[in-house]
A and B are shown apart, each in its own frame.
Chain A
Amino acid sequence: MSTNAAIDLALDRVDWRDLAAQTEEQPRVYTPGEVLMPEAGFMRGHGTFVEDENIKSSVAGVIQKVNKLISVRPLKSRYVGEIGDVVVARVSEVQQKRWRVDTNSRLDSILLLSSVNLPGGELRRRSAEDEQMMRRYLDEGDLISAEVQNIFEEGSLSLYTRSLKYGKLSQGILVKVFPALVKRRKMHFHNLPCGASVILGNNGYIWISPTKGQEEEGGEGGFAQNLNEHVPRADREVIARLRNSILALAKCKLMIYDTSIQYAYEESLRYEAHELLQQNAIYDIGQQTQGRLRDADE
């Protein structure tokens, strides 16, 4: 029997609020129904509505002003897509000429057969055969990385994978965090120095996989999935540690991007990978990472 069971006593429960205690100036937060300002001279954006000639907030969050446009950003919500976002998604249904995929947004997203690169070169003609082969390319439950191409009128997203960066994902771990925690940046694909790759989906789905060699990358058009390849134990440990570090960041409500992940990973090295599931280790990593990020900002 293993004897290293960890028991969390209520006595030394971590107070997550301490992480927040260090900030001096707090922005004004609004709650649903609260008056933001009189309507005159302003435009209402997301998270607001007009009632009795006042602009009111409809969500709980912080106010954002762009010239005359007033919007309120909730700190936590479902993914609201923007064109050009990188997302990680799971195929939920194969339909005629398109796949329905789950992107953690309000409605299912669509991946059209015409928005994917089929094997055999870009200029190849699409035939009825391709429609019958769809399940061969992507089946229910498969994970893909893609980019948001368009937003339909009722709010659902249209994705595309017509780039060698995107396509089917093969071996790795999916981590789900809430979408607001993933910072919008230029780069969402990172080969981290610790020896693993991450895809930071804007929709809060994060994909961690072993870094591929140069020669393996690209060329396939994104439907190859090599599940027989053996990932060495050392790589798997790095991936597991990375997963726990990212979840620790999410638990501490810290933004997730390449630098913060790198810092959290470095801080996590003082623990065994499995110890990172314990509350005090998570708290410690959060605190150290937060300190380093703030130092780097100054």
Chain B
Amino acid sequence: MSGKYDLLSEQGLRLDGRRPHELRRIKCKLGVFEQPDGSAYMEQGNTKVLAAVYGPHQAKGNQTESVINCQYSQATFSTAERKNRPRGDRKSLEFKLYLQQALSAAIKSELYPRSQIDIYVEVLQDDGANYAVALNAATLALIDAGICLNEFIVACTASLSKSNIPLTDISQFEEVSGGPKLTVAALPTAEKIAFLEMSERFHIDHLETVIETAMAGCREIRDILEAAVKEHLLHMGSASDFAKVG
């Protein structure tokens, strides 16, 4: 493995002081915008993402299937060095396809023939694991829009330290310090993996534990998101006493 530093200190702490299995702090909010059908804001450590969902609405053209259309963009001010193009570069297009792929696994698209669902995500601040946080925000926005899903789809990253200890939810600093990065998007209850991506190499013997670490992160994130959704629903519904339906 390359890299100048080890990702884990002798005391068993990571560069930002977390223990190997710990996630960064997650903050999220549903229904942040009025115009779209659903929206969400998600913060994982210092990575901050906004997501908005429009639809399902009439799709253009004559296809009978449902269309899931994503846009991934990264604010010009999101990185340490100003980005010139917020979207349309190679990385954004790649992420857009990956988002589409992962979300199609969760959306019950057979219920939406001839319809189109537009999902826009914007990274406001980049502190690593952008794709994972963007996907988590998109899930929340879809739920806010009342779109039928098989279950939560959540993503989490994992890495491996030089001492072969798996690390959950890696930050930007850990990413650039040269550790490997494995991104998993999963349906945690069904234990299905919808998307998997790896950068840098490590020995195949460790693959299973690293995937399992990422999956454990997914389950943990799912529980956090679920709690946030329930709290949001209770606040939203109880103003009008749930329209007198129990």
Contact = CB atoms under 8 A, between A and B. Distances in A.
B237 A58 contact: no
Contact of B115 (A60, A77, A107, A181): A107
B18 interface: no
Interface residues of A, number: 43
B114 A154 contact: yes
Given A62-B245, A106-B112, A108-B58, A76 B238 contact: no
Interface in A43-61: 47, 49, 51, 56, 58-61
Contacts of B114: 107, 154
Contact of A59 (B149, B226, B242): B149
B235 A17 contact: yes
B129 to A, nearest CB: 23
B236 interface: yes
Contacts of B43: none
Interface string A11-25: 000001101100100
A253 B38 CA distance: 15
A76 B56 CA distance: 13
Contact of B230 (A20, A31, A77, A78): A31
A213 interface: no
Contacts, number: 122
A59 B246 CA distance: 16
Nearest to B144: A76
Interface in B191-246: 226, 229-230, 233-243, 245-246
B240 A32 contact: no
A32 B234 contact: no
Name the residue in B56, B148, B246 with the highest tally of chain A Cβ atoms < 10 Å from its Cβ. B148
Size range of the chain B interface in the assembly: 35 or more
Contacts of A290: 239
A16 B242 CA distance: 16
A78 B238 contact: no
A98 interface: no
Interface in A88-142: 106-108
Interface in A61-91: 61-62, 64, 73-78
Given A29-B234, A32-B150, A64-B245, A252 B143 contact: no
Contact of A32 (B58, B149, B238, B243): B149
A106 B57 contact: yes
B85 interface: no
Interface string B85-114: 000000000000000000000001000111
Contacts of A23: 238, 241
Nearest to B140: A60
Contacts of B245: 27, 62, 64, 73
B56 A20 contact: no
B183 to A, nearest CB: 21
Contact of A20 (B38, B108, B148, B234): B234
B239 A61 contact: no
A26 interface: yes
B148 A47 contact: yes
B229 A20 contact: no
Contacts of B187: 33
B237 A32 contact: no
A73 B108 CA distance: 16
B239 A19 contact: yes
Interface in A147-198: 154-155, 178, 180-181, 183
A29 B238 contact: no
Interface in B134-175: 143-152
A26 B234 contact: yes
B6 interface: no
Given A73-B245, A254-B240, 18 more contacts: A19-B239, A27-B242, A29-B230, A29-B237, A31-B143, A31-B230, A32-B150, A32-B151, A59-B148, A60-B144, A62-B246, A75-B233, A76-B144, A106-B55, A253-B240, A254-B239, A255-B240, A294-B241
Interface of B: 31, 37-38, 55-58, 108, 112-115, 143-152, 187, 189-190, 226, 229-230, 233-243, 245-246
